[in-house]
Structure 1
Amino acid sequence: MGRGRAKAKQTKVARDLKYRTHETDFGALARELHGDKDRNETEESEQDDGYTDYAEPSRD
């Protein structure tokens, strides 16, 4: 007893997923799955970890 409400909700969600139309950007999906190397390298280099101000100066 008591499973009726949960099952009804699961059925509603499953039906919504099955029949809803999706606007999928396959280009963005491909970039996410395969990795856009040029974009990832620039993002990593632009990120500041906040500790560069405390780094010791180089002794060249």
Structure 2
Amino acid sequence: MGRGRAKAKQTKVARDLKYRTHETDFGALAKELHGGDTDDAAEAGQPDEYDKWADYAGPSRD
């Protein structure tokens, strides 16, 4: 009992997400996907926690 109102709310939110047009920042998306340096550790010159595994990485596709 009491599930009807919650289900109606979820349905409303799902429809809103499905049919509403969203403004997409493709520049920010490209930076995120292509590994733009936005990391604070990289700016401070501190070693990254994954640097010790860099020798095992395959060749870069740049």
Same fold flag (TM > 0.5): yes
Q: Which residue in 1 is equivalent to 2:10?
A: 10
- Counterparts of residues 38-49 of structure 1 (less than 5 Å): 40=39, 44-45=43-44
TM-score normalised over the length of structure 2: 0.56
Q: Percent identity?
A: 80
TM-score normalised over the length of structure 1: 0.57
In the alignment, structure 2 segments of 5+ residues that lack a partner are 46-62
Query: For each residue in 1:7-50, what CA deviation from the matched residue of structure 2 results, as whole angstroms up to 9, or x when unmatched?
Result: 0000010011011111101121110122114x558x6238xxxx
Distance 2:6 2:33 in 1: 34
Distance 1:19 1:31 in 2: 27
Say which structure is richer in helix.
1
Segments of 4+ moved more than 6 angstroms: none
Larger Rg: 1
SS in 1 for 2:17: helix
In the alignment, structure 1 segments of 5+ residues that lack a partner are 47-60
Q: Does 1:29 align with 2:8?
A: no
Asked which structure has the greater RCO (Cα within 8 Å, sep 6+), the reply is: 2
Q: CA deviation at 1:6?
A: 0.6
